[in-house]
Structure 1
Amino acid sequence: MNGQNITVQAGYGISEEEKQRLNFLIPLQLDFIRQHIGTLPSKIFLSGRFKKQESFVGIDDLHFWKFHYSLFSKAEQTDLNYFSMLSKAVLQETAVFEQEENHWLLNGLKTYLEIQYLQRNYPDRKLLGNLPEQVKIFGMKPLKIFHASRLKLLERYGLAYQYMQTQNLDQAIDTPFSELSNFNATAISHFETGTLFNFLAEKLGTHQFNDFIKTYLKETDGKIADKQKFLDELTLASGYSADFMDRFVQHKNRVNFKLKRFKKNNDEYLVKIAKNTSMTIPFQVQTQDMAGNKKKYWFDTDDRKRAVEYRIPQSAAEKIILNDDYIFPETNFRDNYRYTTGLFANTKKIRLKILTDVPNPEYNEIYLNPRLNFNAYDKVLLGLNIRNTALFDRRFKYSFTPYFSTGTGKLTGSGSVGYSFQPAEAFFRSLDVGVSASHFHYDYDLTYQKFTAFANLNFAKNPRSDIGRSIQFAYNYLEKDLNPELVLQNEYGKYNLWNIGYAYSDRRLIHERFFSTGLQWMEDFQKISSEFSYRWEYAEDKKILLRWFGGYFFTNKTKNDLFDYGIARVSNYAFSYGLLGQSATSGLLAQQAIIAEGGFKSFVGDKANQWITTVNVDSHVWKWFNVYADAGMYKNRDAGAQFIWDSGVKLKVIPDFLEVYFP
């Protein structure tokens, strides 16, 4: 190439068909890389391990049961996989990138080259490839109704970062590589950094940014790459547009630009835009007219956080967009769109959707999902769930589900509203607060109403770990209809429940552990409960479960046994378990097993009003069959402690959903 002989060797087998494709593709790919970074090595070696690590993510064929789907053609897979490998291999030959500290510089440049390659050769290729066209049901193509089917392959970089950020599991770009989670090694080190480099290339002009890369790599030829020197020289080369990068890479960021409003002034728009950071980050405004024609405008910012008015020399725009196509790693793209005409001028359009989807930030999306439920008193419940959450979590959430009870002919239902505080760098990952309410029948012609206010503090976790810790607080107010018989039995019609608890979970696949403890109290009792469970998957789909439960009443002055510990059946006085027959005392529904409190499967004891401790064991033996055993002791007031046990066989009709215990 240009008088230079370049040898590309592969340490693995390549089919003749793929060799023919590579003979055509590799010279074009290397020339593209040379145009962007200015140099190529004389020899490139691709090992089998390197191929596995550096191939293009997300384009492999899908295999599901008896179905096989090719998202991308073999030629496209070869093209993208080898460009991804070659770009990384070439960069590694131009300079020494120390992996622990300089991983993001190498991976970011590689991803920048990928983005540039996609923009030139696959600008309109979809993220799901050919899948929406291939999946058919009765001749229809159901995937095409999803927004996910319209996402471009180029948008994968911003979406991956968005997902981790909504979970508050992202990490700073400059985090040592050994401390990055496996997903963040891709989403942060590669995708977020590459997006930033491409963002700056768009701002400066691709040729100017490429000239900077060429100069830097030429000066670093054969030497250890200096990330600080890279950032300092990039700041100067960009006219200080990249000045924010030094601070940006060192922290988890929650940068957000907000398009607040606009007004038209003769032949221009005056657009008010705010940012929530003092970093001097530039931004892009894009206008689109009725014919779909787009124009882009770039603006620099100062260190002010307040809203600033910017002039857009455009008079025929239908839509104004801020940082479109996930061009910059923001926390919230839903406030980046404004329409200039019609009913939704200066605001966003509302879109109703039936099925859960990747969120489209251009719209205020409301999801409507039909619901079907059942209990012995409401009979079949026909409902509609109305919520605002999609595949990505949101800070503010609401969910309302009105039901029509076919058994009573009345309306029932539930609803909740909550907000999640997720500071980027704090001792906790999220603080979730909210309220919820529900109204259903718990017996024939008897309803209950429940109101809950809650706060859950989830501690910060190591992104490489499966361990999670949390503290929960909840207040519940419950009110039940009572018939004369229940009044004579001193049944509670109204009561308040206060709860505070701690939970620990280690969700590793083979050795899974869970521990929780909590205090619960009301006017007539105070009690403490603890639970520990351990599940060991000793072979594929073969598990042993060990569970321990303990509970103790500090005081118990209740009028009846409603709040006592259940041994084989929980009383469900807080209506927190999905019992089909809440008040059933006989028949099939009375035998619904909930593995809570005592966790026994046989009626070997009733309830405990002083203390209880039990152990439950469940183990796979053959195909759909498990064996189980329960043992424990409990004590009631004015009675001695009793030892109880049971054992039997469990049939897993539908594992973890429909299981039958035979004592």
Structure 2
Amino acid sequence: MILKHLLILVFYCWTVSLFAQHDIVIDATLDPEKKELNIKQAVTFRNTSTTPLSTIYFNDWANSFSNKTTPLAKRFAENYDSSFHFEKKEDRGSTTLYSIANAEGLPLDWQRGEEVDILEVSLLEPLLPGQEVVVKLLYTIKLPSDKFTRYGVTRNNDYRLQHWYISPAVYNGEWHAYSNKNTDDLFLLPSQFTITLHTPPRYQVISDLSVVSETISEKTKTTILEGADRVKAIVHLEQQSNFKSVVTDRVEVITNLEDKKVSPPIKALLIDRITYFLDNKLGEYPFEKMVISESDYKNNPVYGLNQLPDFISPFPDGFEYDMEQLKTITRNYIENTLPLHPRKDYWLTGALQIYLMMEYVETYYPKMKIIGNLSNFWVIRWSHASKLEFNDQYPLLYLNMARNNLNQALITPKDSLVKFNKNIAGDYYGGDGLDYVADYLGRDQLNHAIKEFYTKYRLKPVTSQQFRKTLAANTTLPIDWFFEDYVGTDTTIDFKIKKVRKRGDSLNVLVKNLRDNAMPVSLYGINKDSIIFKQWLLPIDSTATVTVPAKDVRKLVLNYEEIIPEYNQRNNYHNVRGLLNRPIQFRLFQDVGDSRYNQLFFMPEFDYNLYDGLILGAKLYNKTVLPKAFHYNFTPKLGLRSNTLLGSGSLIYTQQFKNQPLYAMRYGLAGSYLSYDEDLFFRKFTPFMTFAF
């Protein structure tokens, strides 16, 4: 019995140790003339691992702005941003570190490696598992201009403080200390913050940390902030703040996102609806307030809406503001409470964010089109683009990268992603993947698993593997395909109906997976526009045969509702009655592709020359918004004066190579028949081949 109680006590102590917080105590004084913060800091670091530590690593991301050769500077150059390279040194920012000592004031040896934004601190004696050590730091932060990352010093001498303090790196058997590359992925486990800020009285302090006290003297305002279980401590110092507070039943939202077309009461109602929705879908937000800033939004905007000029408003009043707040609040809701590794497991944060946005739009804007009210304009109404729902943008933008051979696996480290994948396509593909899982498992099962995952791991160390286990526990269907193939590889998805045989009152359907993965796919029986049946096929790695009822079925279609972000949906159709699997459709001008039809686009063309007179013709082509492997383009024309058939044409095929130095090969043949004098004509044929590296 004594041994049993002893084991329980040991387990309890180990559990407390495992989730013990670091304490970060900061005393910072703002010098607005020099644009500096003078900081005295004490970090209580707790060893929650099972191994002794002789060295502790710290993130000093403020120093990543210090010169033109840091990893951050190189990332700016890679993104063709030259402003940092040509900026004055005093506007770039840096850290001047004066001393590092232990609790007794004894100096500790420290050094910077090749990465100037990582500190390595040597302890006087090893820190054993379950023990803690206090590290005191004295330093000055030279704050950079906000033009580089939207955080720093503004033109008005206001301050948006993000990576403004030195933070302990995460150790869980290995150190997670890495450089700032402007990917907003600093890794910090939930910690206890106590911050004392000394500023001139004219500055207002905006933060989602709790304000413990605020005292004002003639020259100084002292503000004390506290927060437990925090993974970040962003602070805004503004002389004339435009932040407004919206108090909902669940959390106070402090925001400076503006939309002059929306009145304050409507803004409050929209924010209240968003917090209610997230509370229902995820669970309770554990903090009293949340700051939603313009800087947050612009670093991760609603792409498409952010590019519309103010005088164009194809959406109802309030919709754009609702989407902006939804995306930013959802991101903060997840990031502030689920401490996933932001460089390795970022995909899950983005996938949850986009999936929840899709669910929100389905709930409150079920008929919203991707181009808004423009879909009713007579010039556009005929097009397939006008039929696309708002949520159709997510697979569309991912497929644009996949068709251009630029898609990357979701598990690719965040600092290795191309810019479009980091900002847009990766999160969209992840969110669309969860929608795929929801249709496969059942939406209620996925939503329950997401809420269970959030509730269980809120404010605790967590990885995407815990999400995988939670999802598996909520279904009897195989789910490994999602993590191993959908998330774990950059292989695209492509199924085909290979063969159909009628057997009495049934149809034997052979489905082939054209890619090197194992994925499930939905099979539909269609009669005109009605769905006769829908059946999910378990993950297919090569081929699978399924028997379905033939009654009333005129057409068999894979992925008919286009839930799966499939690379090529044109081979998903098989006509049970008739010759063509997909009917031919003629379209005036280029459009978004419609996989239900064999589309042929045409465009009238007019020309004139002395020999042929007025030339009338049409360009016939198959090019759509999304790239295709095979393109054709024929332009027959008739010269009215010469009464001669003229024209040109081309055939182009692009062969792509994945993860190889040779990116693509393009083969083509172009030809033309044109006049060069009275009753004199020439023929020109041009075969070609190009290589892309």
The alignment's TM-score, normalised by the length of structure 2, stands at 0.60
Q: Does 1:49 pair with 2:295?
A: yes
Equivalent residue for 2:556, pick from 320, 325, 339: 320
1:173 touches 1:188 (CA, 8 Å); kept in 2?
no
Partner in structure 1 of residue 374 of structure 2 = 131
SS at match of 1:326: coil
Instruction: Give distance in 1, aligned partners of 2:556 and 2:365.
Output: 25
1:166 touches 1:392 (CA, 8 Å); kept in 2?
yes
Q: Does 1:25 pair with 2:270?
A: yes
Q: Does 1:361 pair with 2:607?
A: no
Q: Does 1:209 pair with 2:446?
A: yes
Q: Does 1:270 pair with 2:513?
A: no
1:393-404 maps to which residues of 2 (within 5 A)?
393-404=627-638
2:619 aligned partner, one-letter code: N
Instruction: Give distance in 1, aligned partners of 2:353 and 2:681.
Output: 62
Partner in structure 2 of residue 454 of structure 1 = 688
Q: Does 1:191 pair with 2:425?
A: no
Q: Does 1:95 pair with 2:95?
A: no
SS at match of 1:330: coil
Percent identity (aligned):
26
What is the CA distance between 1:116 and its match in structure 2? Answer: 1.4
2:525 touches 2:532 (CA, 8 Å); kept in 1?
yes
Instruction: Give distance in 1, aligned partners of 2:250 and 2:488.
Output: 41
1:388-537 maps to which residues of 2 (within 5 A)?
388-459=622-693
2:353 aligned partner, one-letter code: K
Instruction: Give distance in 2, aligned partners of 1:376 and 1:59.
Output: 48
2:524 touches 2:560 (CA, 8 Å); kept in 1?
yes
Instruction: Give distance in 1, aligned partners of 2:290 and 2:507.
Output: 52
**Structure 2 unaligned runs (5+)?**
1-247
**Structure 1 unaligned runs (5+)?**
136-140, 460-663
What is the CA distance between 1:397 and its match in structure 2? Answer: 1.4
Q: Does 1:152 pair with 2:389?
A: yes
What is the CA distance between 1:233 and its match in structure 2? Answer: 4.8
Q: Does 1:112 pair with 2:346?
A: no
Task: From the superposition, tell whether residues 14 and 393 of structure 1 become closer, same or farther in structure 2 (CA, over 3 Å).
Answer: closer
2:464 aligned partner, one-letter code: K
Partner in structure 2 of residue 566 of structure 1 = none
1:69 touches 1:131 (CA, 8 Å); kept in 2?
no
Partner in structure 1 of residue 566 of structure 2 = 330
Moved more, 75-84 or 386-395: 75-84
What is the CA distance between 1:188 and its match in structure 2? Answer: 2.6
Task: From the superposition, tell whether residues 368 and 46 of structure 1 become closer, same or farther in structure 2 (CA, over 3 Å).
Answer: same
SS at match of 2:491: coil
2:409 aligned partner, one-letter code: A
1:45-83 deviation line (CA, Å, top 9, x unaligned):
21121133344333469449xxx4321112222332222
What is the CA distance between 1:157 and its match in structure 2? Answer: 0.8
Task: From the superposition, tell whether residues 382 and 321 of structure 1 become closer, same or farther in structure 2 (CA, over 3 Å).
Answer: same
SS at match of 2:467: helix
1:315-357 deviation line (CA, Å, top 9, x unaligned):
223443322343122210111233444454xx11110112111
SS at match of 2:328: helix
1:129-165 deviation line (CA, Å, top 9, x unaligned):
10133x4xxxxx1111111111111211111112122
Equivalent residue for 1:387, pick from 610, 613, 621: 621
2:524 touches 2:535 (CA, 8 Å); kept in 1?
yes
The alignment's TM-score, normalised by the length of structure 1, stands at 0.62
1:393-423 deviation line (CA, Å, top 9, x unaligned):
2111111222222343222222222211113
What is the CA distance between 1:431 and its match in structure 2? Answer: 0.9
Moved more, 28-37 or 416-425: 28-37
Aligned length: 444
Task: From the superposition, tell whether residues 286 and 123 of structure 1 become closer, same or farther in structure 2 (CA, over 3 Å).
Answer: farther
Instruction: Give distance in 2, aligned partners of 1:203 and 1:458.
Output: 38
Task: From the superposition, tell whether residues 220 and 270 of structure 1 become closer, same or farther in structure 2 (CA, over 3 Å).
Answer: same
2:524 aligned partner, one-letter code: Q
Instruction: Give distance in 2, aligned partners of 1:180 and 1:76.
Output: 31
1:282-297 maps to which residues of 2 (within 5 A)?
282-290=520-528, 292-293=530-531, 295-297=533-535
Equivalent residue for 2:490, pick from 252, 277, 280: 252
2:491 touches 2:516 (CA, 8 Å); kept in 1?
no
Instruction: Give distance in 2, aligned partners of 1:292 and 1:16.
Output: 41
What is the CA distance between 1:14 and its match in structure 2? Answer: 7.2
2:667 aligned partner, one-letter code: V
1:341-376 deviation line (CA, Å, top 9, x unaligned):
4454xx111101121111111111011222223444
Instruction: Give distance in 1, aligned partners of 2:576 and 2:479.
Output: 29
1:435 touches 1:451 (CA, 8 Å); kept in 2?
yes
1:98 touches 1:224 (CA, 8 Å); kept in 2?
no
Instruction: Give distance in 2, aligned partners of 1:453 and 1:15.
Output: 57
Q: Which protein has greater RCO, CA pairs closer than 8 Å, 6+ apart?
A: 2
Equivalent residue for 2:282, pick from 33, 37, 44: 37
Moved more, 100-109 or 256-265: 256-265
Instruction: Give distance in 2, aligned partners of 1:61 and 1:104.
Output: 25
1:53 aligned partner, one-letter code: N
2:431 aligned partner, one-letter code: G
Moved more, 398-407 or 143-152: 398-407
Instruction: Give distance in 2, aligned partners of 1:224 and 1:376.
Output: 77
Instruction: Give distance in 2, aligned partners of 1:293 and 1:324.
Output: 9
What is the CA distance between 1:314 and its match in structure 2? Answer: 5.8
Instruction: Give distance in 2, aligned partners of 1:341 and 1:31.
Output: 50
What is the CA distance between 1:32 and its match in structure 2? Answer: 2.1
Partner in structure 2 of residue 218 of structure 1 = 455
What is the CA distance between 1:13 and its match in structure 2? Answer: 5.9
2:359 aligned partner, one-letter code: Q
Task: From the superposition, tell whether residues 79 and 308 of structure 1 become closer, same or farther in structure 2 (CA, over 3 Å).
Answer: same
1:425-474 deviation line (CA, Å, top 9, x unaligned):
22222211122222222333322222222111111xxxxxxxxxxxxxxx
SS at match of 2:539: coil
Moved more, 408-417 or 181-190: 181-190
Task: From the superposition, tell whether residues 186 and 122 of structure 1 become closer, same or farther in structure 2 (CA, over 3 Å).
Answer: farther
Moved more, 280-289 or 9-18: 9-18
Instruction: Give distance in 2, aligned partners of 1:318 and 1:18.
Output: 52
Task: From the superposition, tell whether residues 413 and 11 of structure 1 become closer, same or farther in structure 2 (CA, over 3 Å).
Answer: closer
1:377 touches 1:407 (CA, 8 Å); kept in 2?
yes
Task: From the superposition, tell whether residues 419 and 85 of structure 1 become closer, same or farther in structure 2 (CA, over 3 Å).
Answer: same
Equivalent residue for 1:163, pick from 391, 395, 400: 400
